[in-house]
Homo-oligomer: A and B are copies of this chain.
């Protein structure tokens, strides 16, 4: 095992966070924690894809406004989403008119953008960065599976893509008070040969376990060093598998390990294995987790963004689904 973890000399500070979600997310157990809940997924636009781009833009503008940082002091946007050619991000970046770094890490993209953005700040290349991601249930269904109008029955292991966009503004250590990003672990692509496109959780679980193991190894830490270890988004099936893989590596994750995709909906919402989509971990982080860190309830959190690097093309060609996990340590 090499050293995959970066510890920041001057931990960047999260100056603001902002979340926008769809109605189903607003009705879920975390509904009170979101900044803005849309009444429907189209929001007056002519397509879900256009609506998703607008949702991301709204989250980015909200984060910038709440940070009180003048927009011309933000040096980079780091963003990504699930749509082909990450169009939600590029269209949002077009409106923001700031230097744009486009990322793709599937549902791990929020953690990746925060990790990379923190490196750009601690490295002295940026004063502030804006990180943001989005996903949309209907755009994702249409692109990856079947149009929602078709009413295809979903597998019990399937996850429900969140309609949501989350964004944060991160600044240099001395620029403000707030939760700090103290370390990051960029993950490797891990593939246990899962081919079931209705079971992304299983495809991602080994990668999340790999990143957690490497993170613990690099920093000589253990589960008890964190108040919360939260993946995003394995769902119930993937979370159970990640716990099992870690157990086989000698690590008992105990009760402080959960998943954004498990938290955002409740059992009555008929989402089967839970939630997924870049938007999920971004809005859970921007809302609930940030609130609990600021309230002093959580002192040190490990957010492990988890991505299924799934493509319809490669899956139709018989390829398995590689997974990846990127970890970010946030401290009060």
Residues of chain A whose beta carbon lies under 8 Å from any beta carbon of chain B: 2, 4, 6, 46-47, 49-50, 72, 75-76, 80, 83-87, 90-91, 93-94, 97-106, 112, 116, 119-120, 122-125, 143, 186-191, 309-314, 317, 319, 322, 324
Q: Are B314 and A94 within 8 A (Cβ)?
A: no
Q: Are B104 and A103 within 8 A (Cβ)?
A: yes
Interface of A is mostly: mixed
For this complex, 24 residue pairs linking A to B, each with C-beta atoms less than 8 Å apart, are: A46-B317, A83-B311, A84-B84, A84-B312, A84-B313, A85-B310, A87-B311, A90-B309, A90-B322, A91-B314, A94-B190, A94-B191, A94-B322, A97-B188, A100-B189, A101-B116, A102-B105, A102-B112, A103-B103, A104-B104, A119-B119, A119-B125, A123-B125, A143-B313
Q: Compute how far the CA of A76 lies from the CA of B2 in the bound complex, rounded to whole angstroms.
A: 11
Apart from A47-B317, A101-B186, A119-B120, 8 more pairs, CB < 8 Å: A49-B314, A84-B312, A84-B313, A91-B314, A99-B187, A100-B188, A102-B104, A102-B105
Give the residue name and chain of the B residue nearest to A92 (CB).
Answer: B189
Q: Compute how far the CA of A324 lies from the CA of B120 in the bound complex, rounded to whole angstroms.
A: 20
Residue in contact with A103 in the complex, picked from B102, B119, B125, B317, CB distance below 8 Å: B102
Q: Compute how far the CA of A97 lies from the CA of B105 in the bound complex, rounded to whole angstroms.
A: 16
Highest count of chain B CB atoms <10 Å: which of A4, A76, A87? A87
Highest count of chain B CB atoms <10 Å: which of A85, A90, A190? A85
Taking the closest CB of chain B, its distance from the CB of A47, in whole angstroms, is: 5
Residue in contact with A187 in the complex, picked from B80, B83, B100, B120, CB distance below 8 Å: B100
